[in-house]
Structures are given as structure tokens and as C-alpha cells.
């Protein structure tokens, strides 16, 4: 799996992973991070998720990272906001009041470019990456955010039934990546109606990392 896989998905608008509402687990559990208003929340591999609109509506500032410029153009169109666009290093930065989205390879995003963040909301990043990239991603995420607390949503299912993405990331793997840096607690687990992509019985799990 490489960048072209995701560019192709957005060019063909094969974006079944995009939801038409903010995620229920975000609305139910984000408050458990106990962030004051105006806190800056980092949303990695964000696409054009409506979770961003929800975070903005709750009075938070948002930073994001996304590979596809198509996704980010659509994000700002749907927010009805005209961004300022600039080049920062190897990335393109789309900015407006309360929102900064870095377009390009997330591994080109440094702590200096990102700036301070108060929390991470990972709904679709860890589960979008194959196993070897998840090792690199989790280390990079901790580095660029100074191990900010996280609300993270993952899937757990039999990977032999459905190859992914989204990939299965069970509790044991989450703890291998993050237990040295965080206290980890499961705050909600629900069965995926009809199974993941209608093929694999799966649970969707919401984790609090502090």
C-alpha cells in the first residue's frame, strides 16, 4: 500500500470510509479529554471528515494532516471557508480561522511545522495503515505532538476474512505501540452492524490514551 492507493481512491471518489455525520463516539467521549475551549486538536489522515466541523462547532481549534489535496479542497468547500494556501517544507498548508491542514506525507510533518497541540483525535489513521507502517506512524505521532493525549477509534476483526483497509488493530497491538507512553482505557466497544464491509464480524472500539 502506497500513496497512489489513496490518491486513486480520492480521484475516483471511492470514499466509502467517509461518513455523512460526525462519529457518535467522538460526540460521546471527547469530553473525557477535559480540554478547555480553544484547545488545538490534531486529526491525522483526516480526509474531509465531518468530525472536523464538529470539533470546530464545539469551540476547539483543529490541525490536520492529509495526503490528498482533493479531500482538503472538498473539506474547505463543505465548511464554506476560503483557506489561505502556502507551501511549508514539502507540504502544502491550508489555513483559516481556527483550522490548519497540512497536505502531503504525514512523515514530512515535523513538530516545528505542526506547532503545539493539546490532544489527538485518531479515527481513521492507525486503522488505515498496514502493520509495518503502524510502527513508524505511532512513533512519529508521539514525536510531533509531544505525546499529547488521544481519543482513538479502532476496529478488531479477523483479518483473514477481510484484508483491509481499514485494518484490524486489536488491543494487544495498541498496547504494544502506546503503553510505554500512555495509560490506556477502553471507553466504548460496539459491534459493527452487518460486519465490516458486510464480510467480517467486527467491533469498533474507542480508546482514551492519557
Task: For residue 32, say whether it is annotated as part of any ligand binding site.
Answer: no
Torsion of the alpha carbons at 109, 22, 182 and 60, rounded to the nearest 10: 70
* Other CB atoms within 10 Å distance of the CB of residue 184: 17
Task: For residue 188, say whether it is annotated as part of any ligand binding site.
Answer: no
Task: For residue 10, say whether it is annotated as part of any ligand binding site.
Answer: yes
> What's the distance, CA 83 to chain centroid?
21
What are 88's three cell numbers?
Answer: 511549508
State how far the Cα of 102 lies from the Cα of 24, in Å rounded to an integer. Answer: 25
Task: For residue 134, say whether it is annotated as part of any ligand binding site.
Answer: no
- Radius of gyration of the CA atoms of the chain, in A: 16
Binding site as annotated, residues: 10, 45, 66, 123
Binding site as annotated, residues for S-adenosyl-L-methionine: 10, 45, 66, 123
Amino acid at each position: 500500500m502506497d500513496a497512489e492507493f489513496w490518491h486513486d481512491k480520492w480521484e475516483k471518489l471511492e470514499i466509502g470510509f467517509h461518513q455523512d455525520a460526525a462519529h457518535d463516539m467522538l460526540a460521546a467521549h471527547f469530553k473525557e479529554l477535559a480540554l478547555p475551549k480553544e484547545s488545538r486538536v490534531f486529526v491525522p489522515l483526516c480526509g474531509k471528515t465531518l468530525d472536523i466541523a464538529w470539533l470546530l462547532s464545539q469551540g476547539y481549534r483543529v490541525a490536520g494532516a492529509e495526503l490528498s489535496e482533493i479531500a482538503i479542497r472538498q473539506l474547505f468547500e463543505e465548511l464554506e471557508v476560503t483557506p489561505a494556501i502556502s507551501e511549508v517544507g514539502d507540504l502544502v498548508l491550508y489555513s483559516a480561522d481556527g483550522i490548519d491542514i497540512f497536505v502531503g506525507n504525514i512523515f514530512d510533518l515535523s513538530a516545528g511545522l505542526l506547532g503545539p497541540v493539546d490532544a489527538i483525535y485518531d479515527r481513521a489513521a492507525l486503522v488505515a495503515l498496514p502493520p509495518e507502517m503502524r510502527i513508524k506512524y505511532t512513533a512519529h505521532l508521539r514525536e510531533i505532538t509531544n505525546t499529547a493525549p488521544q481519543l482513538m477509534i479502532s476496529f478488531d476483526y479477523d483479518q483473514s476474512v477481510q484484508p483491509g483497509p481499514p485494518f484490524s488493530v486489536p488491543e494487544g497491538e495498541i498496547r504494544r505501540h502506546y503503553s510505554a507512553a500512555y495509560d490506556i482505557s477502553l471507553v466504548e466497544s460496539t459491534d459493527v452492524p452487518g460486519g465490516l464491509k458486510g464480510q467480517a464480524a467486527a467491533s469498533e472500539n474507542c480508546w482514551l490514551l492519557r
